[in-house]
């Protein structure tokens, strides 16, 4: 197979046509006359986290509350490790983008006065099944925006600390893209599939976060020398057992409490931050009082039916589970469990270290959504706001002179990718991408705080993890592919391994337990006030260099 090469040029390049990327494209087109190109690994109609739908708008400033209230809530939930400046600028835009997505066609529940109906002060009720098609439709209608779909971006082109373009491959045909741009937004989403999942067998991809979000944005940034923050603040979701469907609809919708096998409500005992809710469940289980449930027995028949409907709009597997087993929530409590850890800046603070304009430490590279750090609990609407802020900043930045291309580097990239396609090198017994991925997930699970070790790690275990990941990185160099999709899988595995390396360094640097479960150190079981700092990192001479930074308030 001969790998062809194609050169493209645009004004504003967006990597990833998900929540943040689509919204950024729309904003840019409203603000400036330039060309926008979205490069998307799948197709934007259902790509990213929103494929199945979303249960509610979870970041909204309800009546009587202010953006500052949102900042305080998130700061407390994250035990202080947030960027107050980023959070406030995000919170201030939440209601504006909510009105915008409603105007594009999203159904939001309203009362008789025309006000949104809340589900707690930060949430409003919607029908989120078609949120992604609505967003994609708006993007496709905008003539300034072009789409390049089924194309996987795998490397940044940075010259003198400045972002000038990207390398990408088609996953359908033997085509290497070299794309230059005046400004670039990374909106790839975060990373799933780094740890051994809840169901490592056939249903390995039945996870909370999209298994197609492989941490490309983090890895490309790390390798290009961008500063990253708070990778150690992993996200572990409390989910319905097996289906990994959301629990918020049960907890907030019908007021279901977390109970243990003895029927005792345990959530108050451990605290009610996001991390503590998972921690309590893990502890109840490990101390012999599991399994744990959300107490739904006793809800009305009407509530039961409405729950079945609500889950069809975001996690249809849960409705199928209830109906095929006959154990619907009114007759059977819903068992809960923790997921494998994810790295996802929409829920925690993991991601690029950015300024108020969401510009990374690489000039001309912006980040929004799950790859952007410092701003937890942004969810869908917060990702929209970040896309909006980044797009506006990109409009301004674009006035700089256009980038140029390095012919020699491009030729080298072509050679190395062509080599991956060399069929002759596949011999029986050699490593496969799947096998190495499974091994990586096992290493992370056992030595870097996965499900099987109750999410705990120590300096010793992390040291072992680092060595094993390094060995896997070396082995991944020899992988070969039979087609372009397999090249994509190899690149994704390498991205995850790069992220693992940085993640382990971050976890090792947080010598405390600031958040149970999210980064729980068995050798440092307590919080240490002197570590109320950001742990940041940067690649330096091939190694991950850790930098501690002072907290930044709004």
Partner 1 sequence: MSIKISAQQCIGCGQCAEVCPGSLIVLRDSKAAIPRPERCWGCASCVKECPAGAILFYLGTDMGGQGGTLSVRRERHLLHWTVSKPDGGRVSITLDSRDSNKY
Q: Which residues bind partner 1 (CB under 8 A)?
A: 41-43, 45-48, 51-52, 55-56, 107-109, 117, 119, 125-130, 150, 171, 198-199, 201-207, 210-212, 242-243, 249-250, 252-254, 303, 306-310, 312-313, 316-317, 319-321, 323-326, 485
Find out whether 496 and 218 touch, Cβ atoms under 8 Å. Answer: no
Q: In this complex, which beta carbon is closest to partner 1, that of residue 54 or of residue 505?
A: 54
Two tokens at 501?
Answer: 């390396």
Is 206 or 289 the residue whose CB approaches partner 1 more closely?
206
Contact 540, 73 (CB under 8 A): no
CB atoms within 10 A of CB 300: 10
CA–CA distance, 247 with 238 (Å, rounded to integer): 7
Q: Which residue, 144 or 146, is less far from partner 1 as judged by CB?
A: 146
Please state, in angstroms and rounded to a whole number, the distance separating the CA atoms of residues 431 and 440: 13
Nearest distance, CB of residue 364 and partner 1, angstroms: 29
Closest distance to partner 1 from the beta carbon of 63 (Å):
18
Give the β-pairing of 162-170 and 175-186.
Answer: antiparallel
Which C-beta is closer to partner 1: that of 207 or that of 393?
Answer: 207
C-beta separation of 315 from 266 below 8 A: no
- Closest contact distance (angstroms) between CB of 260 and partner 1 is 21
Q: How far is the CB of 2 from partner 1 (least distance, A)?
A: 22
Distance, CA of 47 to CA of 151 (rounded, Å): 13
**Min. distance of Cβ 223 from partner 1 in angstroms?**
24
- Which phi and psi (to 5°) does residue 130 adopt? -105, 20
Going by the DSSP 8-state scheme, the letter that residue 151 receives in this structure is E
Query: Minimum distance between the CB of residue 149 and partner 1, rounded to whole angstroms?
Result: 9
Greatest CA separation found in the chain? Answer: 69
Q: How far is the CB of 512 from partner 1 (least distance, A)?
A: 35
| Residue of 477, 387, 501, 341 lying closest to 36 (CA atoms) | 387
Nearer to partner 1, 128 or 221 (CB): 128
Distant-in-sequence, close-in-space partners of 502: CB < 8 Å, separation ≥ 6: 218, 222, 228, 231, 537, 544
Compute the least distance from the CB of residue 65 to partner 1, in Å.
21
Instruction: Write the Ramachandran bin of 137: left for phi over 0, alpha for psi from -120 to 50, otherwise beta.
Output: alpha
Q: Which is nearer to partner 1, 168 or 393 (CB)?
A: 168
CB environment 168-201: b (16+ within 10 A), e (fewer): bbbbeebebbbbbbbbbbbbbbbbbbbbbbbeee
Nearer to partner 1, 302 or 526 (CB): 302
H-run or E-run covering 309? helix 301-312
To partner 1, the closest distance from the beta carbon of 342 in angstroms equals 14
What is the rounded CA–CA span in Å between residue 293 and residue 261? Answer: 8
Alpha helices in 421-533 (DSSP H): 433-447, 459-476, 484-509
Distance CA(351)–CA(368), nearest Å, equals 10
Minimum gap (Å) between residue 344 Cβ and partner 1: 15
Question: Which residue, 55 or 508, is less far from partner 1 as judged by CB?
Answer: 55
Which residue number, 111 or 550, has a Cβ lying nearer to partner 1? 111
Task: Output the smallest distance, CB 438 to partner 1, in A.
Answer: 12
Strand order across the 351-352 sheet: 351-352, 228-229, 534-540, 543-549
> C-beta of 318: minimal distance to partner 1 in Å?
10
**Whose Cβ is closer to partner 1: residue 163's or residue 192's?**
192
CA distance 463 to 468: 9
Contact at 8 Å (CB) between 548 and 534? yes
154 vs 518 by CB, closer to partner 1: 154
Nearer to partner 1 among residue 73 and residue 212 (C-beta): 212
Cβ–Cβ under 8 Å, residues 367 and 184? no
Q: Which CB atom, from 491 or from 504, has the smaller least distance to partner 1?
A: 491
Give least dist CB 212 to partner 1, A.
5
Structural tokens at position 235: 């996200």
Place of tokens 């599939």: 193
Strand partners, 185: 14, 366
Instruction: Report d(CA 442, CA 465) in Å as an integer.
Output: 10
Residue 61 Cβ vs partner 1, minimum distance, rounded to whole Å: 19
CB of 148 or CB of 519, closer to partner 1: 148
**Cα 294 to Cα 250: distance, rounded to the nearest angstrom:** 7
Per the CB < 8 A criterion, the answer to whether 49 and 17 are in contact is no
């Amino acid at each position: 197979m001969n790998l062809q090469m194609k050169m493209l040029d645009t004004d504003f390049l967006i990597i990833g046509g998900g929540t943040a990327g689509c919204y950024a494209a729309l904003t840019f087109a409203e603000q400036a006359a330039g060309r926008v190109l979205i490069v998307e690994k799948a197709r934007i109609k259902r790509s990213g986290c929103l494929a199945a739908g979303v249960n509610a708008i979870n970041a909204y400033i309800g009546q009587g509350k202010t953006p500052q209230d949102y900042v305080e809530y998130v700061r407390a939930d994250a035990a202080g490790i947030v960027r107050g400046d980023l959070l406030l600028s995000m919170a201030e835009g939440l209601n504006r983008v909510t009105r915008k997505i409603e105007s594009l066609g999203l159904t939001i529940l309203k009362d008789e006065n025309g006000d949104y109906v809340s589900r707690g002060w930060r949430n409003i009720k919607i029908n989120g099944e078609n949120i992604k098609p609505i967003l994609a439709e708006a993007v496709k209608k905008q003539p300034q925006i072009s789409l390049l779909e089924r194309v996987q971006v795998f490397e940044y082109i940075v010259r003198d600390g400045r972002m000038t373009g990207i390398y990408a491959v088609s996953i359908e045909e033997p085509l290497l893209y070299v794309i230059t741009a005046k400004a670039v937004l990374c909106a790839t989403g975060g990373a799933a599939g780094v740890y051994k999942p809840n169901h490592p067998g056939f249903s390995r991809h039945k996870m909370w976060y999209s298994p197609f979000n492989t941490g490309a944005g983090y890895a490309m940034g790390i390798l290009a020398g961008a500063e990253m923050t708070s990778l150690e603040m992993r996200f572990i979701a409390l989910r319905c057992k097996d289906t990994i469907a959301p629990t918020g609809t049960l907890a907030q919708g019908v007021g279901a409490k977390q109970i243990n096998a003895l029927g005792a409500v345990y959530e108050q005992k451990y605290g009610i931050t996001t991390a503590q809710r998972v921690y309590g469940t893990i502890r109840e289980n490990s101390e012999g009082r599991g399994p744990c449930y959300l107490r739904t027995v006793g809800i009305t028949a009407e509530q039961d039916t409405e729950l079945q409907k609500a889950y069809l709009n975001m996690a249809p597997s849960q409705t199928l589970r209830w109906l095929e087993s006959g154990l619907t929530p009114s007759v059977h409590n819903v068992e809960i469990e923790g997921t494998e850890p994810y790295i996802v800046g929409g829920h925690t603070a993991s991601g690029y270290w950015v300024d108020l304009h969401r510009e990374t430490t690489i000039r001309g590279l912006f980040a929004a959504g799950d790859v952007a750090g410092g701003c937890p609990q942004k969810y869908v609407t917060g990702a929209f706001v970040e896309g909006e802020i980044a797009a506006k900043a990109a409009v301004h930045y674009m006035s700089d002179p256009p980038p140029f291309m390095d012919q020699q580097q491009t030729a080298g990239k072509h050679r190395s990718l062509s080599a991956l396609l060399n069929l002759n090198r596949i011999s029986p017994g050699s490593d496969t991408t799947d096998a190495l991925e499974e091994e990586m997930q096992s290493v992370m699970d056992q030595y870097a705080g996965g499900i099987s070790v109750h999410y705990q790690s120590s300096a010793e275990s992390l040291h072992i993890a680092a060595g094993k990941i390094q060995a896997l990185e070396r082995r991944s160099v020899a992988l070969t592919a039979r087609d372009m999709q397999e090249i994509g899988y190899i690149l994704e595995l390498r991205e995850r391994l790069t992220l693992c390396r940085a993640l382990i360094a971050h976890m090792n640097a947080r010598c405390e337990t600031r958040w149970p479960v999210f980064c729980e150190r068995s050798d440092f079981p307590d919080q240490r006030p002197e570590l109320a700092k950001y742990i940041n990192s940067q690649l330096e001479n091939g190694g991950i260099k850790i930098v501690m930074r002072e907290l930044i308030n709004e």
